[in-house]
Each structure stands twice: as C-alpha cells, then as structure tokens.
Amino acid sequence: MTEALVVRRETYIAAPPATVFAFLTDPEKILRWMGSEAITEVQPGGLYLVKGVRDNVARGAFREVVPVHRLAYSFGWEGSEAVPPGSSLVEIDLIDRDGGTLLRMTHSGLPDAAQCAAQADSTSMDPAMALALCTPLRPGSNCWQVMSNSALTINP
C-alpha cells in the first residue's frame, strides 16, 4: 500500500494568532500577501476562493473553523484535472508561542509526487504573510513571491 503524500510546513510569525487568523480569512488582508481576488465565507461549508497573481484560481470549502486557532478547507485548482477544486485538504493550526504565532500547515490528499512538490513550492504563502504583517505595501501589491526561513517537509 502506498503512503499518502503530505506537505507540511511550520513557520513562526511575529504577530498574535488573532492577527494571523485574520490574514488567512479576511479577503482584504489575504490580498496584502497573495492573489488578485479573494472570497471567503468563513464557516463550515463556506466558500474559499483565491485568484492568483498568474490567474490560477484556488477553490474549496471550509470544513472546520475554530476562530484564532484552526482552519481546514478543501482545496484545488479550477480547470485542473490533477488537483481539481475540493480534491485535497489544507489544515492550518495557529499556536500561540513566544509572543507570536507558530503557523503549522498540512496539505494532504495530493495525487502524486509531482503535485506534492508543486504545492510545496507554492507554500511560500506563510513567509509572504509574515512579511505582509510587518511591512507596508504599495496599494495593489502583494508579497506572494517572498521567501524566508521556515521548515518544509514533504512525506513520504
């Protein structure tokens, strides 16, 4: 039996969990660090949609919402046969640590190693968010391409 492919990432963000949670759920704050359009209905069954800077559209539905602590939502790309909307699961835990937040992200349900690697590469989102929280941005800009030191693992 093949072990499931999972992308895991942890990064520390020098902001309280409530602030980080807002940057994951509030469309205006999401656009500070990624995408050109965002729609979120932050409740179980609610829509998660982010149009990327390269016109890719991520779509899913919230499965679990524990304000300030945890989010889980289905995820996929519109028009993708490999990872269609709702075919994978993103889980994010926000842990209050040392005056800031440890963001622990797990992305599971990916179909193969190539998609796992592609999604791992796109998880630059948490360092970009960390930068957005502490850096003023020009209107209409975001920090999707910004990378920082964070731990990334891909299993198996």
CA separation for the pair 150, 156 (Å, rounded):
19
Q: What is the pLDDT of residues 28-58, one digit of tens each?
A: 988 888 888 999 999 999 999 999 867 789 9
Summary mean pLDDT of the chain: 79
Percent of the chain with pLDDT over 70: 72
Select from 77, 75, 50, 79 the least CA-distant residue to 62: 75
Contact between residue 96 and residue 16 where contact means Cβ atoms under 8 Å apart: yes
Superfamily of domain 6-155: START domain (3.30.530.20)
pLDDT tens readout for residues 73-94? 999 999 999 999 999 999 999 9
> Do 58 and 37 touch, CB atoms closer than 8 A?
no
Q: Residue 4 has what pLDDT?
A: 66
How far apart, in whole angstroms, are the C-alpha atoms of residue 46 and residue 43?
Answer: 5
Q: What is the pTM of this model?
A: 0.80
Which uninterrupted H or E stretch holds 113? helix 113-122
Does 70 score more than 90 pLDDT?
yes
Is pLDDT above 80 for 123? Answer: no
Q: What is the pLDDT of residue 25?
A: 95
| Residue extents of the structural domains in the chain | 6-155
